[in-house]
């Protein structure tokens, strides 16, 4: 039996980092996905290994199940219905299993994703031989939530082949999970994110699981119904960064200046709440939309100022801000910052010619632009992967 799961990336419209410190953030799924296929070998295949194929890189890893049993003896007996955190000892054991695979130095950032795979796989399926294949349309480590999309797609594919999920195996194409199943997927994905991010808020895995646009506060989501079309230009500065380090740098700054940082986080929370209410309030005509867009743009600029205050902006991000401000457009970083991707609000009445000019200007600096659909589908599963 094979399954294929997909989970979307995301953009954060307001509230990254502050959300880790328990303030509100607003995020939306985007129509770029990570896909995970899972195959259990039949007895005739005579395969006694757990295999992971990262197809886009491309890299393949293989662990004989005997080796997994030897290094992770206490795993494999845990019920998949109650997600648990990876202990310090287990993460050390998993790290040694990953190191044995001799990942090329250029791809070493993948180690945490591979560790998350090993933890989630062995926690849910124990030492059963299998092959997982991962592909992604998302840039990795660029602020669009590739880590969460990987964990959600993995969690969904793994759970789909347990008794905890009821699937329609005759269904052609993508199907959704029920509410309690989605909740379980999200919880396991959060455990995977912890291995990659250290201290995630849970925002990224939640929006990737449920899709749409959400407001998120202290682990709780509220769905947002948008009452206006929102178009964002996503610019990838192509400056590599790592969410775990950036989140930990912000926490260190918070330790040093707790009162000042708490005011910064509060201000971000107010921005997220105002942004969410603007998006949800009814609109009568184009003029009303333009007025709302002006407010949204201003809030994005304010949020960017506070992210700069947290120490997570970057020269490349400032360059995008400078270029887009020539066209009177508002820009903020999205995700953990330090490089990665940047959002620019594109007003609905902005002409295509101007958009083309902005993109040409940005791309002439070596950046890469894309316009993704916002607020779409969450995690889905296909039981007929070839269809
Ligand atoms: N398709 C994938 N295959 C393997 N690892 C992945 C994949 N997607 C994400 N990861 C893991 O997540 C890390 C990037 O996560 P992170 O730094 O949080 O940035 P972001 O989530 O914004 O892309 C990668 O370095 C890798 O360890
Ligand atoms: C910085 C943060 O708010 C978002 C990180 O997103 P990303 O991994 O950069 O896509 C961290 C979090 O919410 O866990
Ligand atoms: Mg991430």
pLDDT at 386: 62
Answer yes or no: is the ipTM higher than 0.90. yes
Q: Which ligand is nearest to the CA of 333?
A: 2
Q: Is the pLDDT of residue 94 over 90?
A: yes
Cα(114)–Cα(119) distance, integer angstroms: 9
Confidence class for position 284, pLDDT limits 50, 70, 90: confident
**Tally of domains within the chain:** 2
Question: CB neighbours (10 Å) of residue 301?
Answer: 16
* Residue 320: C-alpha distances to residues 144, 200, 268, 327, 363 (Å): 17, 27, 21, 11, 10
Atom 14 (ligand 2): residue with closest C-alpha?
200
User: Quick one: average pLDDT of 165-171?
Assistant: 88
- Average pLDDT, rounded, for the chain: 96
Ligand 3 ion: residues within 5 Å (CB): 147, 243
Q: Choose which residue among 5, 118, 146, 203 to substitute to test ligand 1 binding: the one with the highest number of ligand atoms within 8 A of its C-beta.
A: 146
Q: Are 213 and 279 in contact (CB under 8 A)?
A: yes
Q: Is the pLDDT of residue 27 over 70?
A: yes
Phi, psi at residue 234, to the nearest 5°?
A: -105, 120
User: What's the CA-to-centroid distance between 70 and ligand 3, angstroms?
Assistant: 31
Cα(197)–Cα(209) distance, integer angstroms: 17
Cα(231)–Cα(348) distance, integer angstroms: 7
pLDDT at 146: 98
pLDDT at 76: 57
Query: Catalytic: 204?
Result: yes
User: Quick one: average pLDDT of 49-70?
Assistant: 97
- Mapped onto helix, strand or coil, the DSSP state of residue 14 is strand
Q: Are residues 72 and 137 in the same domain?
A: yes
* Residue 324: C-alpha distances to residues 250, 301, 305, 355 (Å): 27, 12, 16, 10
User: Quick one: average pLDDT of 360-384?
Assistant: 96
Cα(343)–Cα(331) distance, integer angstroms: 5
Which residue range is the domain that position 127 belongs to? 2-222+375-382
**Does the beta carbon of 192 sit less than 6 angstroms from any atom of ligand 1?**
no
Q: Is the pLDDT of residue 387 over 50?
A: no
**Does the beta carbon of 337 sit less than 6 angstroms from any atom of ligand 2?**
no
Q: Are residues 188 and 52 in the same domain?
A: yes
Cα(198)–Cα(246) distance, integer angstroms: 10
User: What's the CA-to-centroid distance between 120 and ligand 1, angstroms?
Assistant: 15
Q: Which ligand is nearest to the CA of 139?
A: 1
- Would residue 117 count as lying in a domain? yes
User: Quick one: average pLDDT of 284-291?
Assistant: 89
Q: Are residues 263 and 330 in the same domain?
A: yes
**Does the beta carbon of 142 sit less than 6 angstroms from any atom of ligand 1?**
yes
**Does the beta carbon of 375 sit less than 6 angstroms from any atom of ligand 2?**
no
User: Quick one: average pLDDT of 161-184?
Assistant: 93
- Would residue 387 count as lying in a domain? no
**Does the beta carbon of 156 sit less than 6 angstroms from any atom of ligand 2?**
no
Q: Is the pLDDT of residue 339 over 80?
A: yes
Q: What is the DSSP letter of 374?
A: B
DSSP per position, 272-332 = HHHHHHHHHS---SHHHHHHHHHHHHHHHHHHHHHHHHHT---HHHHHHHHHHHTTT--EE
Q: Are residues 142 and 262 in the same domain?
A: no
Q: Are residues 190 and 231 in the same domain?
A: no
Q: Are residues 265 and 313 in the same domain?
A: yes
């Amino acid at each position: 039996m094979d399954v294929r799961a997909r989970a979307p990336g995301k953009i954060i419209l307001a509230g990254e980092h502050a959300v880790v410190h328990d303030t509100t953030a607003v995020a939306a799924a985007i129509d770029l996905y990570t896909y995970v296929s899972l195959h259990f070998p039949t007895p005739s295949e005579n395969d006694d290994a757990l295999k992971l194929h990262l197809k886009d890189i491309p890299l393949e890893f293989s662990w004989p199940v005997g080796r997994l049993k030897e290094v992770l003896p206490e795993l494999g007996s845990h019920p998949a219905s109650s997600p648990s955190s990876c202990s310090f000892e287990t993460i050390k054991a998993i790290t040694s299993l990953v190191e044995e695979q001799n990942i090329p130095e250029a791809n070493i950032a993948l180690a945490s994703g591979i560790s998350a795979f090993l933890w989630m796989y062995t926690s849910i399926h124990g030492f059963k031989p299998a092959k997982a294949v991962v592909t992604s349309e998302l840039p990795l480590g660029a602020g669009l939530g590739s880590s969460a999309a990987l964990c959600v797609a993995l969690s969904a594919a793994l759970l789909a082949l347990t008794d905890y999920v009821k699937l329609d195996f005759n269904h052609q194409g993508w199907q959704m999970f029920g509410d309690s199943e989605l909740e379980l997927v999200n919880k396991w994905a959060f455990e995977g994110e912890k291995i990659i991010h250290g201290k995630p808020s849970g925002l990224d895995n939640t929006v990737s699981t449920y899709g749409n646009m959400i407001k998120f506060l202290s682990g709780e989501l509220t769905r947002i119904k948008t009452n206006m079309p929102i178009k964002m230009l996503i610019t990838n500065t192509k400056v590599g960064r790592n969410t775990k380090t950036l989140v930990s740098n912000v926490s260190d700054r918070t330790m040093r200046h707790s009162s000042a940082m708490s005011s910064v986080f509060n201000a971000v929370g107010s921005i997220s709440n105002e942004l969410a209410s603007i998006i949800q309030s009814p609109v009568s005509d184009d003029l009303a939309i333009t007025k709302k867009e002006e407010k949204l743009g201003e809030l994005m600029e304010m949020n960017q100022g506070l992210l700069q205050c947290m120490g997570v902006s970057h020269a490349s991000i400032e360059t995008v801000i400078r270029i887009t401000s020539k066209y009177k457009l508002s820009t903020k970083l999205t995700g953990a910052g330090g490089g990665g991707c940047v959002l620019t609000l594109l007003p609905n009445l902005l002409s295509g010619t101007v958009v083309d000019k902005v993109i040409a200007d940005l791309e002439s600096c070596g950046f890469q632009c894309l316009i993704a659909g916002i607020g779409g589908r969450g995690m889905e599963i296909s039981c007929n992967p070839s269809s």
